[in-house]
Structure 1
């Protein structure tokens, strides 16, 4: 056998030309040709994906706003509630503040 993998089939009459990867310039023209070509290519394809991004963003913003509104408490639900743990010193504190204000007025 003596053949290596990749050299098993021999096709006669076809000539293959290959350029060594060491002789190629991998970034040839990337800056001079690639960057100026970026704008026209983007403008040509932007109409394909831009509406999808706009629709997705609008949906996201609307859903987030609806979520925050649904989590907000309605103050009317708590209008008649009484504090279950009243501050025992609150009345005394309010009385002292009231007396201070009266003294300042005099």
Structure 2
């Protein structure tokens, strides 16, 4: 007979009993989530954050926006009719008037 964890009474996700393990926790009501927000650590954190923003995010956002605006401008330019392409054509009113006479 093959001994598996299921046959030994173990169930997936249920950890067996551990001896000698001590856990200490702090109540959520006793925690201070804003500790050190405006201190020396925050200056180092924000300086790294802004350095990352300026070196990575801002150029990519500007490049993406410039490509987007150029593509819209090019689409509008290509969708426009050029008057020089229709210089040899007569307006419809003149053509209709000549045929009725």
TM-score by length of 2: 0.57
In structure 2, the residue matched to 1:84 is 92
CA shift, 1:58, in A, is: 2.3
Structure-1 residue corresponding to 2:25: 18
Instruction: State whether structure 2 residue 49 is matched by structure 1 residue 42.
Output: yes
Q: Which has the larger radius of gyration?
A: 1
What residue ranges of structure 2 are gaps of 5+ in the alignment? 1-12, 95-101
Seen in structure 2, the aligned counterparts of structure 1 residues 15 and 62 have a Cα distance that, compared at 3 Å, is same
- CA-based RMSD of the aligned residues comes to 2.9
Match of 1:62 in 2: 70
Query: Secondary structure of 2:92's match?
Result: coil
Distance of 1:19 and 1:7 partners within structure 2 = 24
CA deviations over 1:45-97 (Å, ceiling 9, x no partner): 121223322321221122122111101111012223333247xxxxxxxxxxx
Structure with bigger RCO (C-alpha 8 Å, 6+ apart): 2
Residue 35 of structure 1: how far off its partner (Å): 6.5
Name the count of aligned residue pairs.
80
User: 1:26-37 alignment to 2 at 5 Å?
Assistant: 26-30=33-37, 32-33=38-39, 36=43
Structure 1 stretches lacking a partner, 5+ long: 1-5, 87-106
* Structure 1 length-normalised TM: 0.55
